[in-house]
Structure 1
Amino acid sequence: MDRFHTTLSQKVLVAVPPPPPKFTISEWHLNNRYRTRICLDQQKLADSTIAESDRVIEEVQEKTDLNKREVDHKLEEKVKDIEFNKSEIERQRKEASLEIENLCTYMERIKDCSRSIQEDALKTVRKCLILREGRLGIDLCYDFVEKELKKELQVIEGGQSLLTRVLEQANEQVRRLRSTVYFMDRDLEDKSNVMKIDQHNTSLTNTSLNLSIYHGFSPLDPANISLQEWEQYTRQNIEKSAKEINSARQLRSYVDVLLKQVIDDLQNQYHAVNNAFRRRIEELKEAKTKMEVQHSEIVRQANEMKRVTTRLDKSISEKEGYMALAHTRLGNRAQRPGIELCKDLVELSLVSEVGEMRGNVAWLQQKMAEAQASLRYLLKTQIQLEEDINVKTNSIKIDEVDCMSLRQGMTYHSY
């Protein structure tokens, strides 16, 4: 007992709490009713929350499914739109590529025509003009052949100029068509990539593998181009291509008309020059024939004139004998003696004969001079005619042999 008290005296004193309060039975019943009401309220709230949660879950799921179906539908529509636009662009690109090939073919036609004109017609016409510079004398004139040749040269150079300009236009049109094809190719490549992306998105579901929540900092909707701008861009590409294709077709029609017109003009002028050559050759031959006839006549007259001068010279020589006879007789009769030296009828006849013979000799000498002068003129005319005939022969050779032979190699056909 002492030891127990000793132990208690060594421990720290502990405060003893007061006893809990006592409640009345009414409070107990009230508390039970309160707890019951709280439980009922919590149960009702829980039921309401559960019901609302189920409704929200169903509504959210329905909206999610609806949104997914709507997105899927829009993805399918987008894919169809892209496929339609791609088909339109591909069709337009095919037409543009075909038009490029057609234009390249037309450009080759233009080049062939230009090359043929340059290497064939132009050189031939210039050679003809140079050859005709070899005409001699009066034949070196600006005749209608020269006029038609220079006109043909102008027609050829004008056709060359038109072909050069339309070739430049065709080159520019091909460049523009290739530019549209390039932009359409880029658009097709972009649309193919987009279609692959959207087709892949269409195949994805909420249970697909490799799905992940994006946690980056850049926005998930970086697109800043509106649907109208997207549609307008594609439409502009197609419209631009259609416009260039239409321009190319019009240009090809113009090339057809131009080539036909150029060839027709060249052929018309070619025939005009050939007709001018033929007319000129006929004129030259006709003039040469007349000159040859005149030459033969001049030669005949010159020979006749030579015979006349010979006869005149012979006649004058003969008259000298008669003159000497008359002078001798007069001299002899001058020796008559005395009264016999009278002017008898013989004297008068001899004096008259001498006077008349002097006049006749002078007349013959005058005719001799006239005949010799005429002969000189005839011989000079003969030489001139021979020169003119040689000139005409040279001109005929140049026009008929040289130029017309060259022009036979000039050929025009539809390119």
Structure 2
Amino acid sequence: MISQITVPRPHFDSRAVAHRVLRTDPPVQPNDLQLVPDSAAGVGRSTKYSPAEWFSNYQTILVRAGADNLEAESIQQLSRTLNRDSEGVTLQTQAEGTRLLGERLQEIHHWRSELLRHIEQLQADMEALQAARTRLERALEATDTPYAIATDNLNCRAKRPGPDLVQDSVEEELLKEVGLIRNIQALLKRTIAQVASQIRRNMDAKQVLEMDWSDKQEAYNLDERGGGHSNRSPDTQLHPSSAANHEQVCNPTTWTKFTQDNLLQAAQEEEASRRLRALVEEMLRETTEDLINQRSTVDGAFSQRCQELLEAKTELQIKLTQVLQQIGEQEKNIVGLQKAIHLKEAPLRVVQSRLHLRSLRPNMELCRDPAQLSLEAEAAQIETTLNSLKQKLNEARISLSNLEESRMELQKDISCKSQSLFIEGEKCMTQRRHLPSTSRLSGY
């Protein structure tokens, strides 16, 4: 009796071993089971293959080797083709990348130059504005002297004597000058604040441009360094993660718009600086002209007032001379009248004595004879003359008193005019000679 023992045929793949991959044996098929004689079974399990198995095994190996050869030849052919094609594409892509880097460098250089130009312009604007601010501060400081002189002129003129304490054109022009200086000082202070604010805005815009320029300078250096790399460059390395998309990466449109917005803001500040500088120049010119014109008006009013005072003083002095002369003449006239009255006393005593004696005549002798009539006429005439002389003496004395009052008034008014002339000419006009010049009022 023959025993049947199933012995599976071992399966081994050298390719799997080469790739360190274990291949599981295929499931055992019924026709793979071989019958082994009892004698072999009695000795133990046989490890030998049959001739058919031996033939089938090496045929399978040959077929598989042939297929592997064909597959290897195909892969090699495709590899050569891929290598040849990819090398051209790689070189073309690399050349395109180098060209685009060059264009990018030109674009960065363009915007970098524009940024640098505006940075320099903003710096120049800030220096010009600082110079304008210095001029404004000097002009503001220069207005202190005219203001002090004008107010001092008003205070000095307030000390004029009573008759000359009038609200004349000089006072009106001085008040206008004080108000003008106050308005100019307020305007200068506001303009200084505007200039300081514009300088700060220019500085902020300049800092933004400098940051943008610094970033572009660094980017230019990096792209220039990258554009200089070649396949033979020794300093190139593999950076696998560098090709990945980064977060918050802008596109060329937003990149350009960012710089354009910065340049637009800088251009606006430059235009504002230009307009402000023109405004400062125009304002300093106009304020200086206004102060100079008002100064001329006040000086003209002072000169006219001094001329009027001098003319009035001269007329008063002339009139005083005449009054003094009249006082002397009147004093002489009074002395003459007193002497004439004194000289009439003796004839009056004589005639009155004669009339008295004749009044003592007795009886019929007491007649109004021509002698009596003559004596009466003489007495009446002397009395009339004395009355006239006494009246004229009284009038002369009243006239002398009036002349003395006029003299005192004239002398007092002349003293007032002299004091007013001293205030107007010596104090006020002398002070006004120290007013700042046109260049100082302009801030130079």
Report TM bin, short chain. 0.7 to 0.9
Deviation for aligned residue 1:38: 7.9
Instruction: Work out which of the residue numbers 230, 237, 245 in structure 1 matches 2:255.
Output: 230
Return the alpha-carbon distance in structure 2 between the equivalents of residues 277 and 256 of structure 1. 31
2:197 corresponds in structure 1 to 172
Contact 2:292–2:438 (Cα < 8 Å) also in 1: no
TM-aligned CA distance change 1:214 to 1:38, over 3 Å = closer
Deviations 1:317-358 (A, max 9, x none): 222332222221111111212211122222223233333333
| Residue 275 of structure 1 pairs with residue 300 of structure 2 | yes
Match of 1:65 in 2: 91
Matched, 1:122 2:147: yes
Counterpart of 2:319 in 1: which secondary structure?
helix
Moved more, 177-186 or 347-356: 347-356
CA contact (8 A) 1:323 1:357 kept: yes
- Let me know the Cα RMSD of the aligned residues: 3.1
Residue 351 of structure 1 is matched in structure 2 by 376
Range 90-99 or range 105-114, more displaced: 105-114
Residues 363 and 409 (structure 1), Cα distance of their counterparts in 2 relative to 1, 3 Å cut: same
Structure-1 residue corresponding to 2:105: 79
Aligned to 2:366: 341
Counterpart check, 1:181 vs 2:181 = no
Letter in 2 for 1:142: Q
- Among 136, 148, 163, which residue is 1:138 paired with? 163
* Pair 1:310 & 2:340 matched: no
Q: Give the TM-score normalised by structure 1.
A: 0.86
Match runs of 1:371-382 below 5 Å? 371-382=396-407
Q: Using the alignment, how far apart are the partners of 2:49 and 2:147 within structure 1?
A: 138
Q: CA deviation at 1:411?
A: 3.3
Deviation, 1:386, is: 0.3
Alignment of 1:103 with 2:129, yes or no, is yes
Whichever residue aligns with residue 296 of structure 2, its letter is H
2:8 is matched with which residue?
none
Identity in percent: 27
Give the letter for the 1:184 counterpart: L
Partner amino acid for 2:355? L
Equivalent in 223, 227, 252 of residue 202 of structure 1: 227
Go from structure 1 to structure 2 and tell me whether the alpha carbon gap of 1:396 and 1:37 turns closer, same or farther (over 3 Å shift): same
Q: Give distance in 1, aligned partners of 2:128 and 2:339.
A: 94
Residues 1:150 and 2:175 aligned together:
yes
Q: Any unmatched runs of 5+ in structure 2?
A: 1-38
Offset at residue 22 of structure 1 (A):
6.5
Give the deviation of 1:297 after TM superposition: 0.4
Measure the CA separation in 2 of the matches of 1:22 and 1:146: 144
Superposed CA deviations along residues 55-99 of structure 1, whole A, max 9, x for unmatched, are 333333433333333333333322322222212111111111111
Distance 1:148 1:345 in 2: 85
Which of 367, 384, 398 aligns to 2:409? It is 384
CA distance in 2, matches of 1:301, 1:284: 25
- SS where residue 377 of structure 1 aligns? helix
Q: Distance in 2 between matches of 1:15 and 1:35?
A: 26
Do the aligned partners of 1:263 and 1:412 also contact (CA within 8 Å) in 2? no
Find the aligned partners of 2:77 and 2:49 in 1 and give their Cα distance. Answer: 47
Partner SS state of residue 143, structure 2: helix
Deviation at 1:287, TM superposition (A): 0.8
Deviation at 1:410, TM superposition (A): 1.6
Q: Which of 284, 288, 300 does residue 309 from structure 2 map onto?
A: 284
Matched residue pairs, number? Answer: 398
State the match for 1:160 in structure 2. 185
Matched, 1:94 2:120: yes
